[in-house]
Structure 1
Amino acid sequence: MKMHVAVDIGASSGRLVLGEIKNNRLELTEIHRFKNGFIEKQGQCLWNIDQLFTEILTGLAKVRQIGVRECTLSIDTWAVDYALVDVDGNRIGEVVSYRDHRTAQTINKVTATLSAEEIYQKTGIQFLAFNTLYQLYEEDDKRLAKADKILFVPDYLGFLLTGEMRTEVTNASTSQMLNLKTRTFDEELLALAGVKKEQFASFAEPGDFLGKVKPSLIAEYDLPETDVIVAPTHDTAAAVAGTPGEGTDWAYLSSGTWSLLGIESYEPISDQPAFEANYTNEWGVYGSYRFLKNIMGMWLVQEVARLLDGVYSFPELAELAEKEPAFQFFFPPLDERFLNPDNMITEIQAYCLETGQAVPETPGQVIRAIYDNLAICYTLQLRELMQLTGKKLSALYIVGGGANVALLNQLTASLSGLRVFAGPTEATAIGNLVVQLISSGELNDLSEARQLIRESFPIATYQPSGENFAEILAKYQTICEENGGFKHVN
């Protein structure tokens, strides 16, 4: 039986995780961990994509060093960003980060030609300023003219490993350029972006075989013989595949740098209410859709921790927050001003000051404000989700790093009135791995995979407190939606 390796790269870190089924449980071993983050160069936010590839090779070499001679491997990363590749397979320039400001006003430019309603009807994808459609619209014309292929980041990394080019569908769907009806790139949207269908490689589905790692890389870095399997390459798609939901009355919250809140559906929902609520229909594994909303998530906490120069760990910040009174400060995590401010702490303080509130001063008060307002935001979005889908939800499964924050989990359960199941934290890597296990025939389907996950990892349960938080929710809505007002991240 081959071993399986998940390459899971997020916006702030990456890891290689070894997975195997032993004694009817999925066992994980972290082999290699590394930092990630965009760099600013000549006024642009860029990814160090070459370093990421080096880290994959370093991790895979460590897999060989522990005695693994053969394995499968799949890669997942964040979505929407891409590399331009010329006819000889060489990258054209750097890979720009979605947090770059070049697309700040692009939605308005594009929708002046084709209305937002028409774009949503075509794609079912929410309007976010960094969607690939808008990045390509602002791309340098000379670079685009030289590009033989446009490869999303995980597809590009897979190409470097194997020499094979494919376009994986869960990631491609986030581009806002795939048509829900034709299930291919929409010609009108491609024309708006200034690109051609031929500049994208053929589609691949999660579980497809991509290719073998190049013999030259195996020899140079002493790697195991590796079959590369196409993962759900968008990390959210992988996280949802790795969510241990049971039945049909549950929602998920993939809680990392972003909070992705939604349900798994087998039909897209692209009607007018979904458009007005800016919900998205990203493609998921095995013919599913991820009907979800993007919410600013642990990015808020990560930025505060960075500004505090690492004086406090994330658990220590949570402990400080727990000592502070609840619901003293209100701000909308959905506001675009918190997407990438120069200083997250002063931005939160400025919002409170502008709306006539007291201002959080200490690290504990700032983090408490973040957790309180995230829980409120989750609650309001869960209510909206039930209205849009007609589903009566009874449970919320929180996966990812945010599942470790007991304070936020309990706040969410109490405010929403739903049972909250927290864990596993490594759902993205797990989802990546179970697709490999299904592809290899070790698991039959996703239902069996989720049962295996429930039996393999600790999952904490949080019950609603029974308190009535109507006054708190009303105060939030008054300050953030009526009095203060805010612009959604789009």
Structure 2
Amino acid sequence: MNKKNFLAIDIGASSGRTILGTLNNGVLEIKELTRFANSLIELNGHFYWNLLSLYEAILEGLKKTVRDGIEISSIGIDTWGVDFIAIDKSQEILGMPYSYRDPHTTDAPENFFKLIPRRNVYESTGIQIMNFNTLYQFYTLNQNQSTVLKEADKVMFMPDALSFMLTKKVVMEYTIASTAQILNPYTKQPDAELLSHVGLDKNKFGQLVMPGTVIGNLSDSVCRQAGINFVPVVAVGGHDTASAVVSVPALDENFAYLSSGTWSLMGIEVKEPIINSETYGLNFTNEGGVDGTIRFLKNICGMWLLEQCRKEWGTELSYPYLIGQAMECKPFEYLINPDAAVFSNPVSMTQAISQYCIDANQEAPQSVGEYVRCIFDSLALRYKQVLESLQSLAPFVINRLYIIGGGSQNKLLNQFTANATGIPVIAGHTEATAIGNIMMQAKALNIVGSLSEIRQIICDSVSPVTYQPENTGIWNEAYNKFNKICNNKYNHEERSLSRESIRNS
């Protein structure tokens, strides 16, 4: 295998990176080239993404490869899910994209279900009901008579939008489109009935392409600005979790994965969607994966809780310091349901946690360490809760859990998760998403073949760390307390928007 360089552009819900991947004789090496913020912009009561800032950051990553004398074979982009842009017939972008955290869709699902029953929507798409799903964003904009949809010639999800800005090509990559709750999971095409109720039809979207498809080459404008030669842009697993799952270093199917970042996404890989009364009741989702797989998963709030607390305390408090403070605190004193609606986007996360604890007949955390311990204990127990549901639905025995993404570095939470779930937890690479992105580029260029071949290369290239369960009896007792708190009358309804991963994203 000849040495090849690939550029992965991996953008999560709070930051982005450009990662260089070098594949040489069956071994992958990666290197971060640039890192940039992806911050929400609040304007007149709405929250937007700064699309042009992301474009500039991508250009800077391309320029970095030129400055470093690196010749890249291709580029791939992955992002968080559900959000989108629209362009008119002149291919002009119609405004900045709303963020999924914008409150304009708060009541949208229940209003939409007056048109099509909730269960019918789930059975038509297999997607977890979350109020920020693209379907309900479309519905809200249509109800508000938004000019964005009225004037739209094409609608593109975020990785496709950024690829469009690089190539002028309009596509709809399968994995990112599958997060929107508009695709039929069997035909993999937009559902005409659902779209008709939001004022759209399938012609408003680009050609559906599968991960590992070359979209087109960089445009003349991009090449001139970056000082780079024409390079193909590849549709990878455009949803960051789809790319992250590619990088699970497993050689059989008996595993679950937890893509851990701002959001936590726990699931398994299956060949066909799992859509039935039980999955509907548990609000599990069936999202598109690579190589013909379905990502059957549950979206769980992740490090968002701690990230928001840290903003209040000051970002100068490092994660090692916060973890050290947590380790000094008594366990299980304060427990919350991480997916309660009050934690979606509160003005103050610490106040939201305190009030939740008080409403659940607990004391409120006082110190930084107690808040962190509350978050970590609660997340680990929530992971156990979801894993139990997942095992009841899986067509195989789950004997280990792979943690991938930024959360794989959190040794304390990894150990807590092993303790809570009672199975080995294996921490993969922190740049799991970028690795999956890179390997799908290699697949598009026919350098590698199947998903199993990709994972063999990953196994040969990374050194996972395994955490064995400890003190499971104590954690089982805490789990009983956690379940009572989640089920008591003070528990706020689990948010319909509880997703990942919107991951690792």
TM-score w.r.t. structure 1 length? 0.98
> Conserved in 2, the CA contact under 8 Å of 1:64 and 1:224?
no
> Conserved in 1, the CA contact under 8 Å of 2:7 and 2:72?
no
Matches within 5 A, 1:120-159: 120-139=122-141, 140-159=145-164
Match status 1:296 vs 2:301: yes
Give the SS at the match of 1:178. coil
- In structure 2, relative to structure 1, the CA distance for the partners of 1:466 and 1:83 (3 Å cut) is same
Alignment partner, residue 501 of structure 2:
none
Deviations 1:96-154 (A, max 9, x none): 00000000000100111111111111100000010000001111432211100001111
1:386 to partner: Cα distance: 0.6
Q: What is the CA–CA distance in structure 2 between the aligned matches of 1:324 and 1:369, rounded to whole Å?
A: 9
Alignment partner, residue 233 of structure 2:
228
Match status 1:407 vs 2:412: yes
Alignment partner, residue 36 of structure 1:
38
Alignment partner, residue 503 of structure 2:
none
Q: What is the CA–CA distance in structure 2 between the aligned matches of 1:224 and 1:402, rounded to whole Å?
A: 36
Aligned partner of 2:105 among 86, 103, 106: 103
Alignment partner, residue 53 of structure 1:
55
1:70 to partner: Cα distance: 4.2
1:363 to partner: Cα distance: 0.8
Matches within 5 A, 1:428-443: 428-443=433-448
> Conserved in 2, the CA contact under 8 Å of 1:399 and 1:422?
yes
> Conserved in 2, the CA contact under 8 Å of 1:25 and 1:455?
yes
Deviations 1:342-378 (A, max 9, x none): 1111100011111110111111100110000000000
1:226 to partner: Cα distance: 1.2
Q: What is the CA–CA distance in structure 1 between the aligned matches of 2:98 and 2:433, rounded to whole Å?
A: 23
AA partner of residue 400 (structure 2): A
Deviations 1:12-41 (A, max 9, x none): 111111111235421001111111111101
- In structure 2, relative to structure 1, the CA distance for the partners of 1:353 and 1:466 (3 Å cut) is closer
Aligned partner of 1:87 among 89, 95, 108: 89
Aligned partner of 1:15 among 12, 17, 29: 17
> Conserved in 2, the CA contact under 8 Å of 1:69 and 1:224?
no
Q: What is the CA–CA distance in structure 1 between the aligned matches of 2:146 and 2:489, rounded to whole Å?
A: 43
Q: How many equivalent residue pairs?
A: 490
Greater displacement, 404-413 / 217-226: 217-226
Greater displacement, 288-297 / 69-78: 69-78
Alignment partner, residue 216 of structure 1:
221
> Conserved in 1, the CA contact under 8 Å of 2:350 and 2:371?
yes
Q: What is the CA–CA distance in structure 1 between the aligned matches of 2:185 and 2:15, rounded to whole Å?
A: 32
> Conserved in 2, the CA contact under 8 Å of 1:86 and 1:92?
yes
Alignment partner, residue 113 of structure 1:
115
AA partner of residue 247 (structure 1): D
Alignment partner, residue 290 of structure 2:
285
Q: What is the CA–CA distance in structure 2 between the aligned matches of 1:444 and 1:438, rounded to whole Å?
A: 6
Aligned partner of 2:259 among 236, 254, 259: 254
- In structure 2, relative to structure 1, the CA distance for the partners of 1:184 and 1:29 (3 Å cut) is same
Alignment partner, residue 331 of structure 2:
326
> Conserved in 1, the CA contact under 8 Å of 2:10 and 2:17?
yes
Give the SS at the match of 1:16. strand
Greater displacement, 153-162 / 472-481: 472-481
Q: What is the CA–CA distance in structure 1 between the aligned matches of 2:311 and 2:463, rounded to whole Å?
A: 30
Q: What is the CA–CA distance in structure 1 between the aligned matches of 2:472 and 2:204, rounded to whole Å?
A: 55
Give the SS at the match of 2:73. strand
> Conserved in 2, the CA contact under 8 Å of 1:61 and 1:224?
no
Alignment partner, residue 184 of structure 1:
189
- In structure 2, relative to structure 1, the CA distance for the partners of 1:483 and 1:108 (3 Å cut) is closer
1:452 to partner: Cα distance: 1.6
Q: What is the CA–CA distance in structure 1 between the aligned matches of 2:301 and 2:248, rounded to whole Å?
A: 20
Aligned partner of 2:402 among 397, 406, 411: 397
> Conserved in 2, the CA contact under 8 Å of 1:60 and 1:224?
no
Greater displacement, 293-302 / 462-471: 462-471
1:213 to partner: Cα distance: 0.2
Aligned partner of 1:457 among 452, 455, 462: 462
Alignment partner, residue 264 of structure 1:
269
Q: What is the CA–CA distance in structure 2 between the aligned matches of 1:478 and 1:399, rounded to whole Å?
A: 30
Q: What is the CA–CA distance in structure 1 between the aligned matches of 2:321 and 2:75, rounded to whole Å?
A: 35
> Conserved in 1, the CA contact under 8 Å of 2:291 and 2:450?
no
Alignment partner, residue 168 of structure 2:
163
Aligned-pair RMSD on alpha carbons? 1.2
Greater displacement, 305-314 / 285-294: 305-314
AA partner of residue 395 (structure 1): R
> Conserved in 2, the CA contact under 8 Å of 1:399 and 1:425?
yes
Q: What is the CA–CA distance in structure 2 between the aligned matches of 1:70 and 1:393, rounded to whole Å?
A: 39
> Conserved in 2, the CA contact under 8 Å of 1:69 and 1:225?
no
AA partner of residue 221 (structure 2): S
Q: What is the CA–CA distance in structure 2 between the aligned matches of 1:484 and 1:362, rounded to whole Å?
A: 23
Q: What is the CA–CA distance in structure 2 between the aligned matches of 1:42 and 1:124, rounded to whole Å?
A: 35
Q: What is the CA–CA distance in structure 2 between the aligned matches of 1:22 and 1:318, rounded to whole Å?
A: 37
Give the SS at the match of 2:488. helix
Q: 5+ unaligned residues in a row in structure 1: which ranges? A: none
Greater displacement, 115-124 / 382-391: 382-391
Aligned partner of 2:390 among 378, 382, 385: 385
Q: What is the CA–CA distance in structure 2 between the aligned matches of 1:352 and 1:482, rounded to whole Å?
A: 12
Aligned partner of 1:482 among 478, 485, 488: 488
Deviations 1:303-351 (A, max 9, x none): 1111112131122211111111111111100111111111111100011
Aligned partner of 2:67 among 65, 68, 90: 65
AA partner of residue 457 (structure 1): V
Greater displacement, 8-17 / 178-187: 178-187
> Conserved in 2, the CA contact under 8 Å of 1:283 and 1:289?
yes
Q: What is the CA–CA distance in structure 2 between the aligned matches of 1:458 and 1:361, rounded to whole Å?
A: 39
Greater displacement, 432-441 / 104-113: 432-441
Alignment partner, residue 347 of structure 1:
352
TM-score w.r.t. structure 2 length? 0.95
Q: What is the CA–CA distance in structure 2 between the aligned matches of 1:55 and 1:164, rounded to whole Å?
A: 20
Match status 1:472 vs 2:478: yes
Larger RCO, structures 1/2 (Cα 8 Å, 6+ apart): 2
Give the SS at the match of 1:225. coil
1:11 to partner: Cα distance: 0.8
Greater displacement, 381-390 / 83-92: 381-390
Deviations 1:218-253 (A, max 9, x none): 123212431111111000101111111231110000
